Structure 1
Amino acid sequence: MTDKLTKPGLAKPDLPRPRLIPWPPLIYIAAIAISIALGLFYPLPWIGDLLGDLLFAAGFVVLFAVAALWFTAIRTMIRAKTTMNPNGVPDHLVTSGPFGVTRNPMYLANTLLLIGVAFVSGIVWFLPLALIAAFATQKVAIESEEKVLFAKFGKKYRDYTKRVRRWI
């Protein structure tokens, strides 16, 4: 069997098929919407005074880290000439840059975005929804993406998973 794909971005017949719906962005958008709605209709108490001010400042640091993580992950994938589509089959296994620290830097950035917004806005609901969104992303996206990566890259991917954790 040849290692070339018939069309760019399409899986070989023996590879698990990626999902059709781009779940990760939808999961995080839903988490944001639910957090805001719950914050409006069922607000939870927030830490005030000095600790609240520290968390507010920390939130901006987290949001800056999110932007840096997104930028470096996207730049690394573009340089590797591989797809950024969560449903696409990657052309290359990217293990450098932020992918040398976490196998899912963009999903980690999305989760940190919710945490940073919680600290800045004082809407506590963002915190549990960040964890729920991360768990849902792992179940509906990451685990199937990992099957595709293992099927395509085999031992190279298995060695990478031994060196680099899924999240952090």
Structure 2
Amino acid sequence: MNAYRAKPLSFPWPPLIYGAAALAALVLGRVAPIPVAHGHGWVPWLAGCALILMAVSLDLWAVKTLLDRHTAVLPHRCATCLVTGGPFRFTRNPIYLGYTFVMVGVGLITLNPWFFVMGIFAVALTTMIAVRNEERHLLSRFGFEFERYCRYTTRWI
């Protein structure tokens, strides 16, 4: 199979990576808690809720944009067109960025710093396992158009 027809991933790993990272953060929060100063309890809770709301909105906007363009939403399916509108104008990975914002938001709500640590781990692992393969797939399918898109749009933020 040539690179043009190859799938970016054989399995949709990113949701599992973030799910495992959240589970690890919960376990580590119980087993090896990191002490946190409990200043104003409602401020981190409110900030966490706002981040989660923003993350869900970003994910829904990204999925709607992909569906409107009739291309694959799941990361293990071939892209039929290069989507550069909607949230993809600002970041090449808005869905994964949304997952990361959820991790940070839950960390603020629960005051569990392990969510921040595991969020960083999830970003790094997602970049290595999924994002680079997806970018290779898009480069093989859309060539110069994807290169130009990469020049003007950041991978994460």
TM-score by length of 2: 0.95
Matched, 1:137 2:130: no
Of 8, 23, 43, 1:54 maps to 43
Name the SS for the 2:10 alignment partner: coil
Further displaced range: 89-98 or 15-24: 15-24
For residue 154 of structure 1, give the secondary structure of its aligned residue in structure 2.
helix
Q: Which consecutive aligned stretches of 4+ in structure 1 deviate over 3 angstroms post-superposition?
A: none
Could you tell me which residue of structure 2 aligns to residue 3 of structure 1?
A: none
1:102-113 equivalence runs, <5 A = 102-113=91-102
Q: Residue 95 of structure 1: which of 63, 81, 84 is its match?
A: 84
Match of 1:69 in 2: 58
1:22 aligns with 2:15: no
Q: Over aligned residues, Cα RMSD in angstroms?
A: 1.2
Distance 2:75 2:22 in 1: 20
Could you say which residue in structure 1 is the equivalent of 2:34? 44
Which residue of 2 is the match for residue 127 of structure 1? Answer: 116
Q: Taking structure 1 as the reference length, what is the TM-score of the superposition?
A: 0.89
Gapped runs of 5+ residues in structure 2? none
- Give the letter aligned to residue 29 of structure 1: G
Residue ranges of structure 1 left out of the alignment (5+ in a row): 1-11
SS of structure 2 residue aligned to 1:64: helix
Q: Deviations over 1:115-143 (max 9, x none)?
A: 00000011110001000100100000000
Amino acid at match of 2:22: I
Question: Which residue, 135, 141, 146 being the options, matches 1:157?
Answer: 146
Which amino acid in 2 is paired with 1:75?
K
Q: Distance in 1 between matches of 2:9 and 2:60?
A: 25
**Alpha-carbon distance in 2 for matches of 1:144, 1:111:** 19
Tell me the distance in 1 between the aligned counterparts of 2:99 and 2:37: 24
Distance 2:97 2:37 in 1: 25
Q: Deviations over 1:145-168 (max 9, x none)?
A: 000000100010000001100001
The structure whose RCO (Cα within 8 Å, separation 6+) is larger is 2
Instruction: Give the drift of 1:20.
Output: 1.2
Q: CA deviation at 1:19?
A: 2.4
